[in-house]
C-alpha cells in the first residue's frame, strides 16, 4: 500500500486538525454541567454518554493526517482511563491545549527539541507539586466517597469501599455482569498477577481488549513452550472436554503459539497463553501458589513431569479467568482449602524468617494474593431499562474501582481544574531559559485550560474568575 508523506507545516496542521475535532467532541462533557454526546452504533440504538474515553473510541476521521492526530489523543484518554479510571476528559483538554501552544511556538521558530525538554521538566515539577497537595484517602468512608463521584452512584461507591475493605487495598477486585437486578459483592478464592496475554488475538472482547474464559482448564508450566508436538496430546484432551484452556508458562512461542492463535481465530478452540509472573525462584514460588489455588500441578522436569505426558488431572481449574494485555485475574480456583491454608501459613513463616526488606515485601505480595482472595462485584441493573445497559454499567464500575485504587495509592486533590492551576505556581522556581522556558510556559498555559473549559459547558454562564482560584483558600481546604 502506497504511503502518503507530508512535512513541516502541512503535517503539523493535519495532526492538529484531527486532535481538535476529537478534543472538541470530548471536552463538552467536562464539569458538573457537562453535556452528553450521542454516539451512532453500527448495530442497535445510539448510545448517550458523557464518558470521555467512550466518545474518543468512536471517532473515526477520513483524512489520513487528521486520523493520526485523533489517534494520538485517543491514546491519551485510554492511558488515563487504564491508570486512573477517570479524568479522561481533563487529560484530553490538557493535551489539546499543550499541542496548540507547542505548534504555535514551533511555527514562530522555536526549536522543537528544546520545547520538548522544557515541557518534560515542567511536567515533572507539576507532578511533584500535585503529589505534595494530595490528601491521603485511608478510611472506608473516604474510599466510598471517591468511588461514588467517579461512578456517579453512591451505592456503587459503598460497594467498592466494602470490597477494598475485605481484600485489602492491594487486593483483586473484578466486575461481572449479572442476570438480575441490583448489585452484589462476593468474596471468592483467587488471585491476580501483572502479566497479560502474549498475543492480542486471544482477546474475546475486542472493544475492551480482554479475554474471558469460563470454567477453564489451567496449564501451569515452568518452562518455555515452543514445540507444538509436546502440546498436542494435551490440547486434544482439553478439546474433547469442551472447556477453554489457559496456559501459564515461562513463554509460549513459535509453532505452539501460532497453533493456539489460529484455532482461536477459527473458533475451533478457545485458549489464552500468558507469561508466568516473576523471575527465577520467585517465579517458581508464584507458579506454586497458582497451582495450589487452582488444584493443579506445576509441569516441570525438575519434579519429573513432562508436558507431552501431562493429563487433565495435572491441570488446574477455576470458575472464571479474565485476561487483559497487562494482567490476569483468576476467580474462584478449585484448590483444596486445607492446602491453601497450609500455603498461607508457609508464606507467613517465610516472612517472619526473612532478613531482607525486599524479600519480605515480595512475600507480603504473595500472601495478599493467596490469602486475600478476589472480590467479585456482580453488576445487575436497578430497572428493566438499565438491564439493557448492563455492559455500560459494568464498565463504569470498573473505572470507579481503578479510580478508588489510584486515590488510595496517591491521594486526592481539589477538583474542577483548581489543583492544576495551583500547581502551576511551581514554575516560579524553575530556572529555564530560551526555548526550554517557552516549553514550560506552554505547560503553564495548558494547565489553565480545564478550569476555563468548565464554565463554557455550563448552561448558565455566571461571572467567574479563574485567576482567583489559584490562591483561593477554599481550593486547598
List the binding residues for ATP: 29-32, 86-90, 416
Q: What is the DSSP letter of 347?
A: H
> Do residues 351 and 363 lie in contact, with contact meaning Cβ atoms separated by under 8 Å?
yes
Binding residues: 29-32, 86-90, 416
Task: Please give the torsion angle defined by the CA atoms of residues 116, 120, 126 and 131, in that order, rounded to the nearest 10 degrees.
Answer: 160
Helix (H, G, I), strand (E, B) or coil at 213: strand
Q: In 432-443, which positions are buried (b, 16+ CB within 10 angstroms) versus exposed (e)?
A: beebbbbbbbbb
Residue 431: CB atoms within 10 Å = 7
> Do residues 414 and 476 lie in contact, with contact meaning Cβ atoms separated by under 8 Å?
yes
Count helices and strands in the chain by DSSP H and E runs? 17, 13
The residues near 399 (Cβ < 8 Å, ≥ 6 apart) are 51, 81, 85, 86, 150, 151
Residue written as grid cell 481539589: 414
> Do residues 202 and 273 lie in contact, with contact meaning Cβ atoms separated by under 8 Å?
yes
> Do residues 376 and 163 lie in contact, with contact meaning Cβ atoms separated by under 8 Å?
no
- Report the alpha-carbon distance of residue 373 to residue 350 in Å, rounded: 20
- Report the alpha-carbon distance of residue 25 to residue 40 in Å, rounded: 14
> Do residues 156 and 147 lie in contact, with contact meaning Cβ atoms separated by under 8 Å?
yes
Helix (H, G, I), strand (E, B) or coil at 26: helix
Amino acid at each position: 500500500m502506497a504511503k502518503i508523506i507530508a512535512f513541516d507545516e502541512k503535517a503539523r496542521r493535519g495532526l492538529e486538525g484531527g486532535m481538535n475535532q476529537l478534543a472538541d467532541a470530548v471536552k463538552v462533557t467536562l464539569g458538573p454541567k457537562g453535556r452528553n454526546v450521542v454516539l451512532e452504533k453500527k448495530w442497535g440504538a445510539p448510545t448517550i454518554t458523557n464518558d470521555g474515553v467512550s466518545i474518543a473510541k468512536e471517532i473515526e476521521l477520513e483524512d489520513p493526517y487528521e486520523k493520526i492526530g485523533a489517534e494520538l489523543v485517543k491514546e491519551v484518554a485510554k492511558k488515563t482511563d487504564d491508570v486512573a479510571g477517570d479524568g479522561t476528559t481533563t487529560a484530553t483538554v490538557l493535551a489539546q491545549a499543550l499541542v496548540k501552544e507547542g505548534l504555535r511556538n514551533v511555527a514562530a521558530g522555536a526549536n522543537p527539541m528544546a520545547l520538548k525538554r522544557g515541557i518534560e521538566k515542567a511536567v515533572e515539577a507539576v507532578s511533584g507539586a500535585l503529589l505534595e497537595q494530595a490528601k491521603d484517602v485511608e478510611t472506608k468512608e473516604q474510599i466510598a466517597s471517591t468511588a461514588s463521584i467517579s461512578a456517579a452512584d453512591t451505592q456503587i461507591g459503598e460497594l467498592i469501599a466494602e470490597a477494598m475493605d475485605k481484600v485489602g487495598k492491594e487486593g483483586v477486585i473484578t466486575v461481572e455482569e449479572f442476570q438480575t437486578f441490583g448489585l452484589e459483592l462476593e468474596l471468592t478464592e483467587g488471585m491476580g498477577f501483572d502479566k497479560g496475554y502474549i498475543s492480542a488475538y486471544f482477546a474475546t472482547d475486542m472493544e475492551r481488549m480482554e479475554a474471558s474464559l469460563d470454567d477453564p482448564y489451567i496449564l501451569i508450566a515452568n518452562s518455555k513452550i515452543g514445540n507444538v508436538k509436546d502440546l498436542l496430546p494435551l490440547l486434544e484432551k482439553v478439546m474433547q472436554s469442551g472447556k477453554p484452556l489457559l496456559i501459564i508458562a515461562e513463554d509460549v512461542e513459535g509453532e505452539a503459539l501460532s497453533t493456539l492463535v489460529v484455532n482461536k481465530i477459527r473458533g475451533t478452540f478457545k485458549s489464552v497463553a500468558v507469561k508466568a509472573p516473576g523471575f527465577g525462584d520467585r517465579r517458581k514460588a508464584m507458579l506454586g501458589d497458582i497451582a495450589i489455588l487452582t488444584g493443579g500441578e506445576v509441569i516441570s522436569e525438575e519434579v519429573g513431569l513432562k508436558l507431552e505426558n501431562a493429563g487433565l488431572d495435572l491441570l488446574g481449574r477455576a470458575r472464571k479467568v479474565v485476561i487483559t494485555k497487562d494482567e490476569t485475574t483468576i476467580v474462584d480456583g478449585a484448590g483444596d482449602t486445607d492446602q491453601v491454608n497450609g500455603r498461607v501459613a508457609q508464606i507467613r513463616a517465610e516472612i517472619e524468617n526473612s532478613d531482607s526488606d525486599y524479600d519480605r515485601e515480595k512475600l507480603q505480595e504473595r500472601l495478599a494474593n493467596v490469602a486475600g482472595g478476589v472480590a467479585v462485584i456482580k453488576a445487575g441493573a436497578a430497572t428493566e431499562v438499565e438491564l439493557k445497559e448492563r455492559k455500560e454499567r459494568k464498565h463504569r464500575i470498573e473505572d470507579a474501582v481503578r479510580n478508588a485504587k489510584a486515590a488510595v495509592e496517591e491521594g486526592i486533590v481539589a477538583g474542577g481544574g483548581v489543583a492544576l492551576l495551583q500547581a502551576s505556581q511551581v514554575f516560579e522556581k524553575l530556572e529555564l531559559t530560551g526555548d526550554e522556558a517557552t516549553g514550560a510556559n506552554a505547560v503553564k498555559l495548558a494547565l489553565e485550560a480545564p478550569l476555563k473549559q468548565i464554565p463554557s459547558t455550563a448552561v448558565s454562564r455566571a461571572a467567574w474568575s479563574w485567576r482567583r482560584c489559584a490562591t483561593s483558600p477554599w481550593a486547598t481546604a
